[in-house]
Amino acid sequence: MTRVMHENDTNFTGKVVWITGASSGIGEALAVLLAGKKAKLILTARREAALMALSDRLDTAVKVLAADLYAADFQALTTAALAAFGGIDMVIHAAGIGQRSLAAETPLKVYRQLMEINFFAPVAITGCLLPVCKAHMVVIGSMSGLMGFPGRTGYAASKHALKGYFETLQVEQDVPVTIVSPGRVQTNLSLSAITASGEAHGVMDEAQAKGIPAMECALRILKGVAQKKKHVIIARKEKYLYWLHWWWPSMYYKIAKKYSFASGK
């Protein structure tokens, strides 16, 4: 059941790619692009109707495996994914949930929800696959997984944890891993982000709406994957803040503290 994509292999034709979080945003954009390259797709997300609608648009072989990654039977889900086309070449961990709440207001249950979906779900899937399949792991992290940002304590923690796990996997086992750290992308992340009450934020942040188009982000992800890059940063202004974080920390803290999740900046 193990098929590993070779270095510099830019041909996705016939490759079996499992995408979580495929019903919208970056995951959906990647599904569209990979379908155009004739990859065989396994699509997972909570909303089965949205996955079926996406499947109908794609001119390639598709298997829909709807699942709520907050409380999934990961062994059964992984077994079904492996059986769909007889193996898996690549897993794109694109499922995730955002956050819009300050630390002093956020209860532990909200942090647990963020960690379950953003961290434990991809770790559980990877753990089920490792004994039987050395698939290329593509992990959609965040610039918030590289530095802190107001209103994102749990989200940043989950993405930092995600990077730590998969970066360690890169050096621990012979498994290809590409960690992707996007900045703001034009998705529904801010709309679905959870607040301190656990309810959806329901507001499109101005900066999110003006972010990198999801399709452009997906194109850059596939370019990095084809080149077998270990880490791909896809960002605009956030990239400069990240450089300050490394080379001028005092200025990074001064600028970051001025940002407010409520302002949408």
Active-site entry in 70, 111, 155, 165: 155
Tens of pLDDT, residue by residue, the chain (265 residues): 444 444 334 589 999 999 999 999 999 999 999 999 999 999 999 999 999 999 999 999 999 999 999 999 999 999 999 999 999 999 999 999 999 999 999 999 999 999 999 999 999 999 999 999 999 999 999 999 999 989 999 999 999 999 999 999 999 988 999 999 999 999 989 899 999 998 889 888 888 888 899 999 999 999 999 999 999 999 998 899 999 999 999 998 888 887 655 434 3
- 259 in catalytic set: no
| Per-residue pLDDT, 120 | 98
Which pTM was predicted? 0.92
Please tell me the distance from the alpha carbon of residue 191 to that of residue 145, in angstroms, as a whole number. 20
Q: What is the largest CA-CA distance in the chain?
A: 52
Q: Taking each helix axis from N to C terminus, what angle separates 153-172 and 121-129, rounded to the nearest 10 degrees?
A: 20
What is the token pair recorded at 71? 């409380």
Question: Helix, strand, or coil here: 179?
Answer: strand
Question: Helix, strand, or coil here: 231?
Answer: strand
Burial grade of 143 (CB within 10 A; 0-12, 13-18, 19 or more): buried
User: What stretch of H or E contains 50?
Assistant: helix 48-57
Cα-atom radius of gyration of the chain, to the nearest Å?
18
Taking domain 16-238, whether its CATH number is 3.40.50.1100 is answered by no
| Per-residue pLDDT, 7 | 37
